[in-house]
């Protein structure tokens, strides 16, 4: 796992087609000077807007997504007293109940850990070019297109 050190802490960002290892991310942000590890896990749920979901599919403009994820991690390190932050997002098919996005943060105190993790997931959803297709019984729909659809220029 490759980490980037800054003057305020360190971060790791990742896009993967494999299942995200929650334990490995939590262990990776562990720091003996921190009393809190906050782990946010976004999973595929079985229902959305009255439809039975079969699975989700994610696509990304990978180079830009990683760059934007790094900016989010750096901003979190600057705004709160956190030591390490890892942001991982899955691409491809994500079955029901599996993690599609994970934010792991270590901080000396829980308030900064929670604030940094919340900021990271909110900014990721708002700005990072990752697109989600919901496959449901009887159809499919793209969700959260951040201003553009997959494959558009």
pLDDT value at residue 149: 47
Alpha-carbon gap, residue 83 to 64, rounded angstroms: 25
Alpha-carbon gap, residue 37 to 30, rounded angstroms: 7
C-beta of residue 60 within 8 angstroms of C-beta of residue 144: no
Neighbours of 67 (CB within 10 A): 13
pLDDT value at residue 145: 56
Return all residues near 29 (Cβ < 8 A) that are at least 6 apart.
Answer: 37, 83, 84, 85, 86, 104, 105, 106
Res 59 pLDDT > 70: yes
Q: What is the pLDDT of residues 93-149, one digit of tens each?
A: 999 999 999 999 999 999 999 999 999 999 999 999 999 999 998 889 888 654 454
pLDDT value at residue 27: 97
pLDDT value at residue 138: 86
């Amino acid at each position: 796992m490759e980490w980037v050190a800054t003057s305020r802490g360190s971060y790791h960002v990742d896009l993967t087609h494999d299942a995200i290892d929650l334990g490995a991310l939590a262990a990776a942000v562990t720091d003996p000077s921190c009393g809190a590890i906050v782990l946010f896990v976004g999973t595929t749920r079985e229902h959305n807007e009255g439809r039975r979901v079969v699975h989700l599919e994610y696509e990304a403009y990978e180079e830009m997504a990683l760059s934007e994820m790094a900016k989010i991690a750096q901003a979190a390190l600057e705004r709160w007293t956190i030591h390490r932050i890892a942001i991982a997002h899955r691409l491809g098919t994500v079955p029901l109940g599996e993690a599609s996005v994970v934010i792991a943060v270590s901080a000396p105190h829980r308030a900064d850990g929670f604030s940094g993790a919340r900021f990271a997931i909110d900014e990721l959803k708002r700005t990072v070019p990752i697109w989600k297709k919901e496959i449901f019984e009887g159809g499919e729909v793209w969700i959260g297109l951040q201003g553009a659809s997959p494959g558009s220029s």
